[in-house]
Protein backbone atom coordinates (compact mmCIF):
# COMPACT_ATOMS: atom_id res chain seq x y z
CA UNK A 1 0.00 0.00 0.00
CA UNK A 2 1.10 3.55 -0.70
CA UNK A 3 -1.71 5.51 0.90
CA UNK A 4 0.58 8.43 1.73
CA UNK A 5 2.19 9.07 -1.63
CA UNK A 6 2.18 12.82 -2.13
CA UNK A 7 1.16 13.42 1.51
CA UNK A 8 3.18 15.45 4.03
CA UNK A 9 3.16 14.32 7.65
CA UNK A 10 4.53 15.79 10.88
CA UNK A 11 5.02 13.34 13.76
CA UNK A 12 5.95 14.35 17.30
CA UNK A 13 7.64 11.85 19.59
CA UNK A 14 9.27 10.36 16.50
CA UNK A 15 12.40 9.28 18.35
CA UNK A 16 10.96 6.24 20.08
CA UNK A 17 8.00 3.96 20.71
CA UNK A 18 4.75 4.49 18.86
CA UNK A 19 5.94 7.77 17.36
CA UNK A 20 8.93 6.09 15.75
CA UNK A 21 6.80 3.16 14.55
CA UNK A 22 4.35 5.63 13.00
CA UNK A 23 7.15 7.42 11.17
CA UNK A 24 8.32 4.18 9.61
CA UNK A 25 4.81 3.03 8.73
CA UNK A 26 4.03 6.27 6.90
CA UNK A 27 7.39 6.23 5.13
CA UNK A 28 6.73 2.64 4.05
CA UNK A 29 3.46 3.82 2.53
CA UNK A 30 5.09 6.55 0.48
CA UNK A 31 4.70 9.61 2.69
CA UNK A 32 7.10 12.46 3.35
CA UNK A 33 7.70 12.89 7.07
CA UNK A 34 9.18 15.38 9.48
CA UNK A 35 9.82 13.60 12.80
CA UNK A 36 10.46 15.71 15.88
CA UNK A 37 11.39 14.74 19.42
CA UNK A 38 13.14 16.23 22.42
CA UNK A 39 15.50 13.23 22.33
CA UNK A 40 18.07 13.83 19.58
CA UNK A 41 19.71 10.41 20.08
CA UNK A 42 16.32 8.81 19.55
CA UNK A 43 15.89 10.71 16.31
CA UNK A 44 19.26 9.44 15.12
CA UNK A 45 17.97 5.90 15.63
CA UNK A 46 14.84 6.70 13.64
CA UNK A 47 16.94 8.10 10.80
CA UNK A 48 19.26 5.09 10.85
CA UNK A 49 16.29 2.72 10.56
CA UNK A 50 14.93 4.76 7.64
CA UNK A 51 18.32 4.59 5.92
CA UNK A 52 18.28 0.82 6.34
CA UNK A 53 14.76 0.70 4.87
CA UNK A 54 15.68 2.93 1.94
CA UNK A 55 13.21 5.63 2.98
CA UNK A 56 15.57 8.22 4.49
CA UNK A 57 15.21 10.47 1.44
CA UNK A 58 11.67 11.26 2.55
CA UNK A 59 12.48 11.81 6.22
CA UNK A 60 13.64 14.93 8.02
CA UNK A 61 14.28 15.00 11.76
CA UNK A 62 14.53 17.90 14.18
CA UNK A 63 14.85 18.34 17.93
CA UNK A 64 11.76 19.95 19.46
CA UNK A 65 10.29 20.37 22.93
CA UNK A 66 6.52 20.41 22.37
CA UNK A 67 5.96 22.20 25.69
CA UNK A 68 7.98 25.24 24.54
CA UNK A 69 5.66 27.66 22.73
CA UNK A 70 8.38 29.57 20.87
CA UNK A 71 10.12 26.36 19.80
CA UNK A 72 6.85 24.87 18.57
CA UNK A 73 6.04 27.97 16.55
CA UNK A 74 9.46 27.89 14.88
CA UNK A 75 9.52 24.11 14.49
CA UNK A 76 6.12 23.78 12.86
CA UNK A 77 6.80 26.68 10.51
CA UNK A 78 10.08 25.05 9.49
CA UNK A 79 8.44 21.67 8.94
CA UNK A 80 5.66 23.14 6.81
CA UNK A 81 8.15 25.13 4.75
CA UNK A 82 10.43 22.13 4.26
CA UNK A 83 7.60 19.84 3.23
CA UNK A 84 5.86 22.43 1.10
CA UNK A 85 2.60 22.04 3.03
CA UNK A 86 1.09 19.76 5.63
CA UNK A 87 -1.59 17.09 5.38
CA UNK A 88 -1.33 15.18 8.65
CA UNK A 89 -0.21 15.95 12.20
CA UNK A 90 0.38 13.05 14.59
CA UNK A 91 0.80 14.20 18.20
CA UNK A 92 2.55 11.16 19.65
CA UNK A 93 4.89 12.98 22.06
CA UNK A 94 4.11 12.33 25.70
CA UNK A 95 5.46 11.27 29.07
CA UNK A 96 4.15 8.79 31.63
CA UNK A 97 4.74 9.27 35.35
CA UNK A 98 3.11 7.64 38.37
CA UNK A 99 2.68 8.57 42.02
CA UNK A 100 0.32 8.38 44.94
CA UNK A 101 -2.10 11.23 44.28
CA UNK A 102 -1.79 12.53 47.84
CA UNK A 103 1.97 12.75 47.35
CA UNK A 104 1.85 14.36 43.89
CA UNK A 105 3.66 17.70 43.81
CA UNK A 106 2.59 20.63 41.67
CA UNK A 107 5.78 20.47 39.60
CA UNK A 108 5.04 16.81 38.81
CA UNK A 109 1.46 17.67 37.82
CA UNK A 110 2.43 20.70 35.75
CA UNK A 111 5.13 18.81 33.84
CA UNK A 112 2.65 16.17 32.69
CA UNK A 113 0.17 18.87 31.69
CA UNK A 114 2.87 20.84 29.85
CA UNK A 115 4.13 17.97 27.71
CA UNK A 116 1.02 15.89 27.14
CA UNK A 117 -1.85 18.37 27.02
CA UNK A 118 -0.28 21.76 26.34
CA UNK A 119 2.15 20.20 23.86
CA UNK A 120 -0.75 18.70 21.91
CA UNK A 121 -2.54 22.06 21.92
CA UNK A 122 0.52 24.04 20.80
CA UNK A 123 1.39 21.68 17.97
CA UNK A 124 -2.20 21.59 16.76
CA UNK A 125 -2.68 25.35 16.96
CA UNK A 126 0.43 26.06 14.95
CA UNK A 127 -0.28 23.34 12.37
CA UNK A 128 -3.94 24.20 11.78
CA UNK A 129 -3.48 26.90 9.13
CA UNK A 130 -1.43 24.56 6.94
CA UNK A 131 -3.74 21.61 7.59
CA UNK A 132 -6.81 23.66 6.68
CA UNK A 133 -5.19 25.03 3.52
CA UNK A 134 -5.24 21.61 1.89
CA UNK A 135 -8.93 21.00 2.57
CA UNK A 136 -8.48 17.46 3.91
CA UNK A 137 -6.12 17.78 6.84
CA UNK A 138 -5.98 15.23 9.64
CA UNK A 139 -4.95 15.52 13.28
CA UNK A 140 -4.29 12.28 15.17
CA UNK A 141 -3.95 12.81 18.91
CA UNK A 142 -2.96 10.40 21.65
CA UNK A 143 -5.37 9.69 24.44
CA UNK A 144 -5.03 6.53 26.53
CA UNK A 145 -7.20 3.88 28.10
CA UNK A 146 -6.39 5.70 31.35
CA UNK A 147 -8.70 8.54 30.20
CA UNK A 148 -11.83 6.42 30.63
CA UNK A 149 -10.78 3.48 32.81
CA UNK A 150 -9.20 3.57 36.27
CA UNK A 151 -5.42 3.31 36.20
CA UNK A 152 -4.15 3.53 39.78
CA UNK A 153 -1.27 5.88 40.58
CA UNK A 154 -1.74 7.66 37.25
CA UNK A 155 -4.29 10.36 38.09
CA UNK A 156 -2.19 13.19 36.66
CA UNK A 157 -1.39 11.27 33.48
CA UNK A 158 -5.03 10.23 33.07
CA UNK A 159 -6.15 13.84 33.46
CA UNK A 160 -3.93 14.92 30.57
CA UNK A 161 -5.26 12.16 28.35
CA UNK A 162 -8.86 12.96 29.20
CA UNK A 163 -8.15 16.56 28.30
CA UNK A 164 -6.66 15.55 24.97
CA UNK A 165 -9.72 13.45 24.21
CA UNK A 166 -12.07 16.39 24.89
CA UNK A 167 -9.83 18.77 22.94
CA UNK A 168 -9.97 16.43 19.95
CA UNK A 169 -13.76 16.29 19.96
CA UNK A 170 -13.93 20.09 20.11
CA UNK A 171 -11.63 20.77 17.17
CA UNK A 172 -13.28 18.01 15.13
CA UNK A 173 -16.59 19.87 15.45
CA UNK A 174 -15.08 23.32 14.99
CA UNK A 175 -13.29 22.57 11.73
CA UNK A 176 -15.37 19.79 10.14
CA UNK A 177 -16.89 22.26 7.71
CA UNK A 178 -13.41 23.08 6.44
CA UNK A 179 -12.53 19.47 5.73
CA UNK A 180 -10.41 18.77 8.80
CA UNK A 181 -10.68 15.45 10.62
CA UNK A 182 -9.50 15.06 14.22
CA UNK A 183 -9.32 11.66 15.89
CA UNK A 184 -7.73 10.05 18.95
CA UNK A 185 -6.07 6.74 19.43
CA UNK A 186 -6.31 5.36 22.97
CA UNK A 187 -3.57 2.76 23.39
CA UNK A 188 -3.37 0.39 26.32
CA UNK A 189 -1.23 -2.68 26.99
CA UNK A 190 1.30 -1.51 24.40
CA UNK A 191 5.05 -2.01 24.78
CA UNK A 192 5.84 1.57 23.81
CA UNK A 193 9.06 2.17 25.73
CA UNK A 194 7.66 4.51 28.35
CA UNK A 195 5.36 1.74 29.63
CA UNK A 196 8.40 -0.34 30.61
CA UNK A 197 9.06 1.90 33.60
CA UNK A 198 6.05 4.04 34.57
CA UNK A 199 7.71 4.97 37.86
CA UNK A 200 5.27 3.22 40.14
CA UNK A 201 5.57 3.99 43.86
CA UNK A 202 7.75 1.52 45.75
CA UNK A 203 4.75 0.44 47.82
CA UNK A 204 2.32 0.17 44.90
CA UNK A 205 -0.33 -2.53 45.21
CA UNK A 206 0.45 -4.55 42.10
CA UNK A 207 -2.86 -6.36 42.46
CA UNK A 208 -4.58 -3.17 41.35
CA UNK A 209 -2.67 -3.38 38.07
CA UNK A 210 -3.64 -6.96 37.25
CA UNK A 211 -6.71 -5.79 35.34
CA UNK A 212 -4.46 -3.96 32.88
CA UNK A 213 -3.41 -7.21 31.21
CA UNK A 214 -4.79 -7.73 27.67
CA UNK A 215 -7.61 -10.26 27.41
CA UNK A 216 -6.17 -11.80 24.26
CA UNK A 217 -3.46 -13.44 26.34
CA UNK A 218 -0.62 -12.46 24.01
CA UNK A 219 1.11 -10.03 26.31
CA UNK A 220 1.70 -6.40 25.46
CA UNK A 221 1.63 -5.59 21.73
CA UNK A 222 4.42 -3.77 19.92
CA UNK A 223 4.16 -0.11 18.91
CA UNK A 224 3.65 -1.07 15.27
CA UNK A 225 0.18 -2.28 16.28
CA UNK A 226 -0.85 1.29 17.01
CA UNK A 227 1.07 2.69 14.02
CA UNK A 228 -1.07 0.58 11.68
CA UNK A 229 -4.26 2.05 13.11
CA UNK A 230 -2.86 5.57 12.85
CA UNK A 231 -2.00 4.98 9.20
CA UNK A 232 -5.58 3.92 8.52
CA UNK A 233 -7.07 6.90 10.36
CA UNK A 234 -4.74 9.41 8.70
CA UNK A 235 -5.28 8.04 5.18
CA UNK A 236 -8.32 8.16 2.93
CA UNK A 237 -9.35 4.81 4.42
CA UNK A 238 -10.34 6.82 7.48
CA UNK A 239 -12.11 9.56 5.51
CA UNK A 240 -15.42 9.09 7.39
CA UNK A 241 -13.88 8.94 10.88
CA UNK A 242 -13.67 12.09 12.98
CA UNK A 243 -14.47 13.36 16.46
CA UNK A 244 -13.94 9.99 18.12
CA UNK A 245 -11.32 7.76 19.68
CA UNK A 246 -10.18 4.26 18.80
CA UNK A 247 -9.18 2.03 21.71
CA UNK A 248 -6.23 -0.29 20.98
CA UNK A 249 -5.70 -2.52 23.99
CA UNK A 250 -6.19 -6.18 23.13
CA UNK A 251 -9.43 -6.29 25.06
CA UNK A 252 -7.95 -5.07 28.33
CA UNK A 253 -11.05 -2.99 29.03
CA UNK A 254 -13.87 -4.98 27.40
Q: What is the pLDDT of residues 112-145, one digit of tens each?
A: 999 999 999 999 999 999 999 999 999 999 999 9
Q: What is the pLDDT of residues 209-233, one digit of tens each?
A: 767 778 776 778 899 999 999 999 9
Kindly report the three-state secondary structure assignment for every residue of the chain. Answer: CCCCCCCEEEEECCCCHHHHHHHHHHHHCCCEEEEEECCHHHHHHHHHHHHHHCCHHHEEEEECCCCCHHHHHHHHHHHHHHHCCCCEEEECCCCCCCCCHHHCCHHHHHHHHHHHHHHHHHHHHHHHHHHHHCCCCEEEEECCHHHCCCCCCCHHHHHHHHHHHHHHHHHHHHHHHHCCEEEEEEECCECCCHHHCCCCCCCCCHHHHHHHCCCCCCCCECHHHHHHHHHHHHCHHHCCCCCEEEEECCCCCC
What pLDDT does 195 receive? 60
What pLDDT does 203 receive? 86
Would you name the residues annotated as active-site residues? Answer: 157
Counting as low any pLDDT under 70, the low residues of the chain are 193-197, 210, 217
What pLDDT does 218 receive? 73
What pLDDT does 194 receive? 65
Domains, the chain, ordered by start? 8-248 (3.40.50.720)
Structure pTM? 0.95
What pLDDT does 205 receive? 82
Amino acid sequence: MERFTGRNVLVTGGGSGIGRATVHRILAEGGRVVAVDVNEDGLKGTLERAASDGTAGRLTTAALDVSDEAAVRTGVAGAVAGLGGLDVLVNAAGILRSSHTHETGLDFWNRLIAVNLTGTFLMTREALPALLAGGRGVVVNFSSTSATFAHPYMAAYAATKGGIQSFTHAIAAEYAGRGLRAVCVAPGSIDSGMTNDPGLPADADLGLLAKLSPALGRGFAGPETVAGVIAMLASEDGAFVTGTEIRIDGGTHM
